[in-house]
Chains A and B, each alone.
Chain A
Amino acid sequence: MSVQPHSSSRYRWAGLATLLSTSLWLWGCGTPWELRRQPAAPLGIGQEARQDPALSGDGRLLASVVERGGRSTVILQERSSGKVLPLHHLRRQQPHSSPSLSWNGRYLALVVQQGPQRQAVIEDRANGQLHPLLLPAGREPQRLSLAPDARRVVLEVLDNGQSRVEVFDLSGLLEPDQAPGQPVSGGGGLTR
């Protein structure tokens, strides 16, 4: 008789554990059909090859690299409509690679060709400025990632044939581009 409560309690715990593990499975181990798939917005020129996707922090904008006249060129689009947004400084300096966007898409960082060398640059879409990120001779940027708030950038550089990652502070160079609701110490948002 004294076993009954214990057994009942054990069943309750087992039930609770089953419920908990099922909810964890449903939430944590979610099956692929929970994902919503969407091809990248079309450019209006049929099925065009594109590489190197980069989303703004809020997911509203998509930068990617397409072929234009045989040259790898970055384009910036609104994800929902596919509308192509203007980039002022990047009509030349191809091939472009490794685009990266800040939270609201104010800043677009990427690697471009500057004469015989690869160079990392950041275009400020709010004021049209282009900021080159200069490295010591002998070190070439391969890829980069801009922090969503634009306070830091990380570069993958080739130094004597060895690949290495280096982080840089941009707080003296760029105004932050914060998510809405974050404390703002300067300009940032861009509605274009």
Chain B
Amino acid sequence: MKSRALLAMALTLSSLLGGCLGGNLRPLQGLNLQLARGGTSHSPALSGNWLALITGREGREQVQMVNLSSSAPVPLLGLNRPDAQPLSVTVDQRGERLALVRQREGRTELVLYRRSLQNLQAIPMEPAGVPRRVQLSADGRVLAVEVSRGGQWQVDLLTLP
């Protein structure tokens, strides 16, 4: 508890300093404190009113999505699995489509999640390759995937229906 209080205090001070140092760059302090309390976090993606990110606590990482209007986490039923390690996440501006690269059972896979349907669809890499990072256009129509093929990094573009 003490360390969390210290972290919160440090974050508040640094946020204030950040605001001063960054000129017009103003931290969203309430949200940032909330994120800091949640443990480590990485691979953020902003779109519309949504922030998708990967958070970690006690050695387990999962995808989280936050509604920026309310700073409240949004349920992602069926997306996170205890046996999967998320690597990269992206969201469209409606907060409806998320794309995710994750490792599961020794394989790295790309999946597309439709939030209103709680539906997860695996997207195979063709030709075969290992996806690493993914980014969805804000309109949700195009997916850019960084893929390793034959020892070289490439970018695939997928048009979604």
B-contacting residues of A (Cβ < 8 Å)? 24, 28-30, 32, 34-40, 47, 49-59, 62, 64, 79, 103, 133-136, 139, 142-148, 152-156, 159, 162-170, 172-173, 179
Contact = CB atoms under 8 A, between A and B. Distances in A.
A148 B93 contact: yes
B8 to A, nearest CB: 12
B72 interface: no
Contact of B157 (A24, A79, A166): A79
A39 B157 contact: yes
Interface residues of B, number: 58
Interface string B47-65: 1100101000000000000
Contacts of B21: 134-136
Interface of B: 14-15, 17-18, 21-28, 31-32, 35-36, 40-48, 51, 53, 68, 93, 114, 117, 119, 121-124, 126, 133, 135-139, 141-142, 144-146, 152-161
Nearest to A144: B44
Contact of A51 (B68, B146, B158): B146
B157 A62 contact: yes
Contact of B41 (A39, A55, A59, A165): A165
Contacts of B139: 57-59, 179
B15, B26, B122, B145 interface centre (most CB from chain A within 10 Å): B26
Nearest to B54: A165
Given A51-B146, A79-B142, A133-B22, 12 more contacts: A30-B121, A32-B122, A39-B156, A49-B154, A53-B144, A135-B22, A143-B43, A147-B48, A152-B28, A164-B41, A167-B68, A168-B22
Contacts of B155: 39-40, 50-51, 53, 62, 64
Contact of B124 (A32, A143, A148): A32
Contact of B142 (A55, A147, A179): A55
Contacts of A58: 137-139
Nearest to A98: B133
Given A145-B44, A156-B44, A53 B25 contact: no
Contacts of A164: 35-36, 40-41
Contact of A37 (B24, B141, B157): B157
14 contacts: A32-B121, A51-B153, A52-B146, A53-B133, A53-B146, A57-B137, A133-B22, A133-B25, A139-B18, A165-B41, A165-B42, A166-B15, A167-B27, A170-B25
